[in-house]
Amino acid sequence: MVINWYPGHMAKARRLIEENIKIIDVVIELLDARIPLSSSNPMISKMIGQKPSVLVLNKADLADTAVLEKWIAYYRQQGRIVIALDSKGGKGIKSMVTEVRKLAAPKLEHWQKRGLKTRSVRTMILGIPNVGKSTLINKLSRSSVARTADKPGETKGKQWVRIANQLDLLDTPGVLWPKLENQICAYRLAATGAISDTVFDMQDVVTKLISELSVHYPQKLCDRYKLDMLSGTPQDIIEHIGRKRGCIVSGNLIDLEKTYKLILKEYREGKIGEISLDRVEDFPIKGKI
């Protein structure tokens, strides 16, 4: 099954961003630390252009630390300013604000030299759905000004939020790109919750997820689901997990739908462990696989 998700409100959100980015001083581009390249919207890079920006790898607490460090090094080699961040716990937020202020400093100095009244620095958070924008904004503003939800696409309009002294932030809805040509990236977006669960085959996504985890994180799978060892196909492993977790229906059969949902939920919540799906060595130097 080909995965694609670009509902009408995303096209509207894209226009909203394009209309407002001209008044922005610094852009914060938010990626999922578990899938940095898969969660990088190519449209956003074009919209940012040469505007000063900070690349934030959010949900760093859910990512494999060793893999994440490689991604940070990769992006720094590209000349990007990179911050690893845990928006729920707050780790990395101060560093992000510091970098935003540094990037805005030349414009502030320009205003002062011309004798202009200094206004607040305007910044904008851009990213795909469910990457943690609203959670980050709530942490920055110390209040629940932005609605947070587990479902992608909850932020529908724009809103300005004062996040620090002389620092205003424009929140915008999460945006995917119209056609997900790379289906490996699409599956990873589905696995992490960036795509609505209603538009993909859960069996297919969970089977691919278990296949990857069996290769890169076999011990974490065994530890979480109390498996002595991983054997057989990914589907066999899924059935073992279902039986271990008591996902049984009449006739002592595995309730596969319940098992798929269980695995996906526990992966997204980090209960299986700190896991990264995107790896630097799997991608060429430029672009996606």
Which residues contribute to the annotated binding site for GTP?
Answer: 58-61, 130-135, 174
Q: What's 63-115 look like in SS3?
A: CCHHHHHHHHHHHHHCCCCEEECECCCCECHHHHHHHHHHHHHHHHHHHHHCC
Q: Which residues are annotated as a binding site?
A: 58-61, 130-135, 174
CA angle 151, 124, 188 (to 5 degrees): 40
Each residue of 130-144: b (16+ CB within 10 Å) or e? bbbbbbbbbbbbeee
The residue count for the chain: 289
Q: How many CB atoms lie within 10 A of CB 240?
A: 21
d(CA 103, CA 138): 22
d(CA 218, CA 87): 28
204 residue type, one letter: D
